[in-house]
Amino acid sequence: MFDSDPTSGPASGPARPHARTTVAPIVPAASRRAIPDDARVTRWIAPDGWSLRRFDWPAPNPRGRFLFQAGRGDSFEKYLETIAHLRSVGWSVTSLDWRGQGGSGRLSPDPYVGHVDDFATYDADLAGFWQQWRGEGDSGIPTAILGHSMGGLMVMRALTAGTIDPAAAILVAPMLGLRSPLGARLSGRIARYMARRAPIRAAWRQNERPGPVASRQRLLTHDADRYHDERWWHEAQPDLQLGPPSWTWLSEAFAGSAALACDPRVETIATPVLMLLADADKLVDPHAAVRIVERLRDARLVRFGPESAHEILRESDAVRDRALAALDAFLDDTVPRR
């Protein structure tokens, strides 16, 4: 089933009206630049021995447990404000920095280059962590997962492969296709060619995509204060900073999204999915994501126009409040309370 937010324009299927119009509790902005006293930052050791950084912020009398997975180059600190919101409405939240970024080490001799040999490594980390994490809590408590950007691609891959079993999944600006002026097919071929010649070399010098550094904020968010939160954390913890991807990472990203686009298992996913998309996104292709939504059995789609760049949950208040209200309504509808 394909649903759409009634304020987001026409959809390719029936729309489900949203009865809730109120915005969820406001979380102080100071929460963006401080790890809460009652949160825990620990390590998770993957089956192959790699150490990944883990964040846990349990809620008192939780309604459920929530795994929050950010995008390429991110660390959990960038999303503390959203994590605080989730906890304020009853979720115990966990986040795991992806291997090779944040506080989970690096896979390239140059610590500024975001590299991985194969996205299957991310798949294995998510599947292995999910199995352990699910076993840590009360077996009767529901679970949900959110993936932003690259995290959204990895969550969709895991749902497709059946390696995770959440009660609900949220994909925010998921990397189900990449923006490229040359088109995904030709760009993927170029990335594969360069990955064979220079696998760990940066695909470009800096930024999220080729172009001047001054354009980076416009790619990510209209909110200058939230944008500068990332710089604040990088100055406080320089080892969190990551620059452009390697040619191998880029090749894997194009190949991974292309494989998912024709994977028949997508139609078998039973987990309810909410997808938040920015139509003006300059990093990922929202049209590719819409095509995935149309194949899902139980999905809702909320679309934003030019008011939102790639980081929807770090956007201006009007965008972020609408996104969080949609997220809360979706979880209330799909995840039963005990």
**Domain extents for the chain?**
2-334
User: What are the tens digits of pLDDT across the range 166-177?
Assistant: 999 999 999 999
**């209209």: which residue's tokens?**
222
Going by pLDDT thresholds of 50, 70 and 90, the confidence category of residue 138 is confident
What's the mean pLDDT in 310-330?
A: 98
User: pLDDT (tens digit, 9 = 90+) per residue, 14-28?
Assistant: 333 343 444 555 666
Band of residue 213 on the pLDDT scale cut at 50, 70, 90: low
pLDDT at 142: 96
Does residue 116 or residue 2 have the better pLDDT?
116
Rama region for 181: left / alpha / beta (φ>0; ψ in -120 to 50; rest): alpha
Q: Is the pLDDT of residue 9 over 90?
A: no
Q: Is the dihedral of CA 128, 131, 135, 136 positive or negative?
A: positive
**pLDDT value, residue 241:** 95
State the sign of the Cα–Cα–Cα–Cα dihedral 55, 315, 260, 202. Answer: negative
Top pLDDT among 214 and 264 is at 264
CB 247 within 8 A of CB 198: yes
The per-residue pLDDT for range 49-106, each reduced to its tens digit, is 999 999 999 999 999 999 999 999 999 999 999 999 999 999 999 999 999 999 999 9
Token pair listed for 37: 């006293």
Kindly report which listed range (26-35, 36-45, 81-90, 124-133) carries the lowest average pLDDT score: 26-35
How many helices (DSSP H) and strands (DSSP E) are in the chain?
9, 9
- Nearest Cα to Cα of residue 141 among 336, 327, 328, 329: 336
Average pLDDT over residues 115-138: 95
Predicted local distance difference test score (pLDDT) of residue 212: 61
pLDDT of 205 over the 60 cut: yes
Q: What is the pLDDT of residue 323?
A: 98
The region of weakest confidence among 80-84, 164-168, 199-203, 216-220 is 216-220
Report how far residue 299's alpha carbon sits from residue 199's, in angstroms, rounded to the nearest whole number: 37
Q: What's the mean per-residue pLDDT of the chain?
A: 91
- Give the per-residue pLDDT at 215: 82
Percent of the chain with pLDDT over 90: 84
What pLDDT does residue 140 have?
A: 85
Q: Which of 152-166, 214-228, 239-253, 308-322 has the lowest mean pLDDT?
A: 214-228
Q: Is 207 left (phi over 0), alpha (psi -120 to 50) or beta?
A: left
Indicate whether 189 pLDDT > 50.
Answer: yes
Contacts of 40 (CB under 8 A, 6+ apart): 55, 56, 57
Which pLDDT score, from 0 to 100, does residue 11 have?
Answer: 37
| Percent residues over pLDDT 70 in the chain | 89
Q: pLDDT tens for residues 139-164? A: 789 999 999 999 999 999 999 999 99
Fold of the CATH domain 2-334: Rossmann fold (3.40.50)
CB 191 within 8 A of CB 275: no
pLDDT top residue among 18 and 290? 290
pLDDT of residue 30: 72
Q: Is the pLDDT at 130 greater than 70, yes or no? A: yes
